[in-house]
């Protein structure tokens, strides 16, 4: 009897984990559609359509900066705008540093605006530090991974992706554009179910 109880408990745990994994894979928020142009063992090359992005710059350690930036942008889409309207949440939340120096303390946090909006039709934010960017159709080399990465790990993932791109020689990296980090999940998501990405802009 004890063995049967143990087996039942294990099956329940496995079943719960499978259900959690299935739910984690279901897209809960609007996410940009892309076309995979090429893939290797180290990265895939994605083609994105034009996007409108809201972004804000904050200062401090990376995690503190993204938390502050997230709250500012979340305030905007939750009604802190001239029309006091709520906009749908989207994923991923993007972040990049204004310098690749190890002592960089200026970070940009980004929200992708929902489909159907332009810079002209979006409500104006009450926080004047928020700005809107028209990102034209773009191509990115992307490495996707799970976990709850530290700043050091993100830097290593970035360096590894750059090395992989250099080794293949194709596609070529666009100069002057910082590496972007993309985060898809709420903070309460278990580490092994999280989706993170390191993205480098490349020539089409």
* pLDDT, tens digit (0-9, with 9 covering 90-100), for 27-76: 589 999 999 999 999 999 999 999 999 999 999 999 999 999 999 999 99
pLDDT band at 12 (very low <50, low <70, confident <90, very high): very low
Pairing state between β 44-48 and 138-145: antiparallel
In the predicted model, is pLDDT for residue 175 greater than 60?
yes
Q: Is residue 67 part of a domain?
A: yes
**What predicted TM-score, i.e. pTM, was given to this entire model?**
0.86
Percent of residues, the chain, with pLDDT higher than 90:
81
Burial label for 15, CB within 10 Å (0-12, 13-18, 19+), is exposed
Q: Is residue 6 part of a domain?
A: no
- The answer to whether residues 122 and 177 belong to one domain is no
The angle formed by the CA atoms of residues 148, 111 and 161, to the nearest 5 degrees, is 50
Q: Is residue 16 part of a domain?
A: no
- Where is pLDDT greater, at 165 or 3? 165
* Confidence at residue 26, expressed as pLDDT on a 0 to 100 scale: 52
Return the bridge partners of 36, or none: 46
Domain CATH for 71: 3.20.80.10
Mean pLDDT of 172-201: 96
Q: Which residues contact 126 (CB under 8 A, 6 or more apart)?
A: 76, 80, 81, 82
Return the bridge partners of 179, or none: none
Distance CA 140, CA 109 (A): 18
In the predicted model, is pLDDT for residue 143 greater than 50?
yes
- The answer to whether residues 111 and 150 belong to one domain is no
Q: Is residue 86 part of a domain?
A: yes
Mean pLDDT of 139-146: 98
Of 103, 123, 106, 101, the C-alpha closest to 114 is: 123
How many domains are contained in the chain? 2
* pLDDT, tens digit (0-9, with 9 covering 90-100), for 92-135: 999 999 988 777 899 999 999 999 999 999 999 999 999 999 99
> How many residues does the structure list for the chain?
204
Using the 3D structure, point to which of 82, 108, 135 is the last residue of a domain: 135
- The answer to whether residues 84 and 185 belong to one domain is no
Q: Is residue 12 part of a domain?
A: no
In the predicted model, is pLDDT for residue 7 greater than 90?
no
- The answer to whether residues 101 and 202 belong to one domain is no
Distance CA 92, CA 74 (A): 13
Lowest-pLDDT range of 14-18, 133-137, 138-142, 185-189: 14-18
* Confidence at residue 104, expressed as pLDDT on a 0 to 100 scale: 87
- The answer to whether residues 141 and 42 belong to one domain is yes
- The answer to whether residues 72 and 39 belong to one domain is no
- The answer to whether residues 76 and 146 belong to one domain is no
Inter-helix orientation angle 151-168/62-77, to 10°: 90
- The answer to whether residues 164 and 63 belong to one domain is no
* Confidence at residue 201, expressed as pLDDT on a 0 to 100 scale: 98
Return the bridge partners of 110, or none: 55, 94
* Confidence at residue 2, expressed as pLDDT on a 0 to 100 scale: 39
Task: Indicate the average pLDDT of the chain.
Answer: 89
* pLDDT, tens digit (0-9, with 9 covering 90-100), for 62-91: 999 999 999 999 999 999 999 999 999 999
- The answer to whether residues 93 and 37 belong to one domain is no
The CA–CA distances, whole Å, from 159 to 12, 155, 165, 186 equal 41, 6, 10, 26
Tell me the residue range of the domain where 37 lies.
Answer: 31-49+137-204
Neighbour tally for 36: CB within 10 Å: 10
In the predicted model, is pLDDT for residue 25 greater than 60?
no
């Amino acid at each position: 009897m004890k063995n049967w109880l143990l087996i039942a408990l294990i099956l329940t745990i496995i079943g719960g984990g499978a259900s959690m994994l299935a739910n984690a894979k279901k897209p809960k928020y609007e996410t940009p559609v892309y076309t995979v142009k090429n893939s290797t063992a180290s990265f895939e090359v994605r083609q994105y359509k034009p996007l409108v992005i809201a972004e804000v710059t904050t200062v401090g350690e990376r995690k503190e900066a993204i938390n502050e930036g997230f709250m500012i942008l979340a305030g905007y889409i939750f009604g802190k705008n001239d029309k006091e309207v709520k906009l749908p949440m989207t994923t991923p939340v993007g972040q990049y540093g204004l310098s690749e120096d190890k002592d960089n303390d200026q970070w940009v946090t980004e929200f992708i605006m929902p489909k159907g909006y332009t810079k002209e039709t979006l409500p104006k934010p009450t926080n004047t530090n928020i700005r809107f960017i028209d990102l034209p159709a773009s191509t990115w080399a992307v490495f996707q991974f799970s976990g709850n990465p530290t700043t050091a790990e993100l830097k290593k993932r970035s360096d590894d992706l750059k090395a992989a791109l250099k080794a293949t020689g194709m596609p070529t990296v666009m100069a002057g554009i910082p590496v972007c980090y993309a985060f898809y999940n709420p903070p309460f998501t278990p580490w092994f179910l999280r989706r993170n990405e390191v993205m480098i802009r490349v020539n089409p």
